[in-house]
Structure 1
Amino acid sequence: MAWGMWTSTGQAQMIVAHRGASFVAPENTLASFREAWKQGADVVEGDFYLTKDGQIACIHDKTTERTSGGTSKLKVADSTMEELRSVDVGSWKDPKYAGEKIPTLEEVLATIPEKGKIFVEVKCGPEIVQPLQTALKESKLRDDQIIIICFNQDVVTQCREVMPQYKCSWLTSYKQNKLTRKWSPALKKVLETLKRTGATGLGTQGNDAVVTKEFTEAVRDAGVECHVWTINDPKQAQRYAALGFDSITTDKPAEIRSAVEEAK
């Protein structure tokens, strides 16, 4: 399915390609992002760290070990972009992706078409905020094409303060107490955090036990968007579509798009 056959404006959920179309292509590579657009994604999501020399690299982990297939163990924060670029991060997924490199934020932004968007997930701390502001400002993308997302509350707060032109979602997962069986953070804490950070959206883990209709309505009533990650099961995607989520993040954009469309 070619990109552009789907539009999210005025319709339901945006389909967000998690680290690109990472089910078939090596995550957080240009190949993965290009595949996401081919599969009809509305948005791509990528993970970003600040390097030793002040560049912004697209990689999920703190080191290169996993996505190099164990052939490299560079720590991103202690490495230059040039050093990171020497690592093959494609072969571990499939030999046909041999030679794929860790891209820069600028390279990822350049793949985004006129109607596309990006979720820029910050994986480090507030030290990235100033370089990120510069890189985003210098890109050719419109403000509405860029959404910053992060688990770190300080990062969310600072991004909203210095880059209010961009939407910014606070991300959270949940842990269950073995004795009380209660999940944390509880809804009250979630709402408090959203208000304190100034987040425009909640990026919630797809935990069906926590994310109920009542949970979703409470977030909505607070004036905050609802986004969910990472949903690869078609039935679960249909559930979040029925709840009216603004976006569904998935490793399988074409398949999840189809499931959501079928449920309409």
Structure 2
Amino acid sequence: MKILSATACSVIFSVMATAADLPLLVAHRGASHAAPENTLSAFKLAWEEGADGIEGDFYLSSDGEVVCIHDKDTKRTAGTALVVAETPWKELSKLDVGSWKSPEYKGERIPLLAEVLDVLPAGKRFFLEVKCGPEIVPALKKILAEKKADPARVTIISFNADVISESRKELPAYQAHWITDLKDFADPAKRESYEKQLGKCGSQGLQFKAASPVEGPWLASIKSKGLLLTSWTVDDATLAKKMIGFGVNHITTNRPGPLRKELAR
């Protein structure tokens, strides 16, 4: 039996992809190419640009609120270095996290998870990335229940495999996907460890770095096990087309509107 090269497989996948629906475009931290990341303005702009979904990052504040911010502290986006896990929501809510991007967004605040869910339109997807540990899961469970969040549209994602395990246990109705950069993919032993981790934590999807050395046939084998594939962060059409050739289900991008137009040319 002839074994196809990775390049040949990629070509085949590309041909197959042209006949299938394109992957859903997920706005990374909202439409963060133009609006301040992880803010309601960025998420609303993503919807205006026609994104199929949004991705946002979440931590627990010191008083147990689930807040939308990427970094452990507020230095980069607010100019004031407050450690999120050590700061109450009352203090975090006062910070301006928009001015660093543009004067147009002066006064933009860190949103709560509940507020992000409130601006999720019908039929759109939400990838909720946990940046801390499994201690956040009880709070997620409470908020998702209070907001009657549709399990078909909300997916919990995390680099922390323990978060995925705990989410599968406590929130079985919701998909939970493990994130990895696959930077050591070229090492067969490391490649095997990625597969083992997916199984160990019960992940229902793989979110991987698009610029990693990953190969199409390996991704196809993962997908054949019923896992969903999401590539991040993809901001140019050339890389997006490569991911489409790999058969990914979702492409996470900072610029959903412009990328969709470029792919349509």
Residue from 219, 231, 236 that aligns with 2:234:
231
Query: Quick check: 2:220–2:247 contact (8 Å CA) kept in 1?
Result: no
Bigger shift: 125-134 or 216-225?
A: 216-225
Bigger shift: 76-85 or 10-19?
A: 10-19
Measured in 2, the distance between the counterparts of 1:185 and 1:121 equals 27
Q: Deviations over 1:207-226 (max 9, x none)?
A: 3522x111211211222111
Measured in 1, the distance between the counterparts of 2:36 and 2:90 equals 20
Residue from 47, 59, 68 that aligns with 1:49:
59
Residue from 249, 258, 262 that aligns with 2:261:
258
Where has structure 1 moved over 6 Å in runs of 4 or more? none
- Gapped runs of 5+ residues in structure 2? 1-19
Residue from 199, 204, 212 that aligns with 1:200:
204
TM-score by length of 2: 0.89
Query: Quick check: 2:38–2:70 contact (8 Å CA) kept in 1?
Result: yes
Query: Quick check: 1:200–1:225 contact (8 Å CA) kept in 2?
Result: yes
Measured in 2, the distance between the counterparts of 1:224 and 1:246 equals 10
SS in 2 for 1:118: strand
Q: Deviations over 1:125-150 (max 9, x none)?
A: 01101111111111133111100000
Amino acid at match of 1:199: S
Alignment of 1:137-176 (within 5 A): 137-176=145-184
Matched, 1:120 2:124: no
TM-score by length of 1: 0.89
Query: Quick check: 1:26–1:90 contact (8 Å CA) kept in 2?
Result: yes
Matched, 1:189 2:217: no
Query: Quick check: 1:21–1:33 contact (8 Å CA) kept in 2?
Result: yes
Equivalent position of 2:114 in the other structure: 106
Matched, 1:94 2:102: yes
Measured in 2, the distance between the counterparts of 1:208 and 1:238 equals 15
Query: Quick check: 1:174–1:185 contact (8 Å CA) kept in 2?
Result: no
Query: Quick check: 1:21–1:36 contact (8 Å CA) kept in 2?
Result: yes
Query: Quick check: 2:178–2:207 contact (8 Å CA) kept in 1?
Result: yes
Residue from 40, 43, 62 that aligns with 1:33:
43
Query: Quick check: 1:238–1:259 contact (8 Å CA) kept in 2?
Result: no
Measured in 2, the distance between the counterparts of 1:86 and 1:197 equals 37
Matched, 1:221 2:227: no
- Gapped runs of 5+ residues in structure 1? 1-9
Q: Deviations over 1:85-107 (max 9, x none)?
A: 11100000000100000000000
Percent identity over paired residues: 41
Measured in 1, the distance between the counterparts of 2:75 and 2:54 equals 23
Q: Give 1 or 2: higher helix fraction.
A: 2
Equivalenced residues, count: 246
Measured in 2, the distance between the counterparts of 1:51 and 1:219 equals 35
CA displacement at 1:184 relative to structure 2: 8.0
Query: Quick check: 1:149–1:168 contact (8 Å CA) kept in 2?
Result: yes
Equivalent position of 2:3 in the other structure: none
CA displacement at 1:162 relative to structure 2: 1.1
